[in-house]
Amino acid sequence: MENFTKAVRKLFVELRLIQYFCSQINLLIKITDMFDMMKMMGKLKEAQSKIKEAQEKLGTIKTTAESGAGMVKATVNGKKQLISLEIDKDLIKPEDEQMMKDLIIAAVNKALEDVDVLAKEEMKKSTEGLIPNIPGMDLGGMF
């Protein structure tokens, strides 16, 4: 009976050691996960910084479009702001008011379409390697 009691005690001690080592392994796993999370947060901050930097650059991207064979020219920046408008002097007649409005609208809309493409290209370049390129997923709307 005494040998049996010793064997049971030995088993309990070994069981306690196994439980202790398992808890230590779980602690190491949690610490590793925490470091992975910290690394991910660092990447996220880096991505935010690059996106902010790229958004600031958008003000320097400019494109000009024209309508009416060059009689109206509109220039916009990457922030989708109209920054320049040129109207041929021959167009400025009261009777041509509606045509002038239509040409201005056409030129501005064309310039905004063009700068949208340029802005997306710039944002893609600036965030390359930070945001995964998942086929079929367009992240362009984020910017």
Phi, psi of 71 (to 5 degrees): -70, -25
pLDDT of 41-52, one tens digit each? 777 788 788 888
Q: Tell me the average pLDDT across 94-113.
A: 84
Q: Which residues pair with 65 in a beta bridge?
A: 74
Burial label, 82 (beta-carbon count in 10 A; 0-12, 13-18, 19+): middle
Task: Quickly state the pLDDT bin for 64 (edges 50, 70, 90).
Answer: very high
Q: What is the pTM of this model?
A: 0.46
Domain 1-143 in CATH 3.30.1310.10: yes
pLDDT of 111-140, one tens digit each? 888 888 888 888 777 777 766 655 554 555
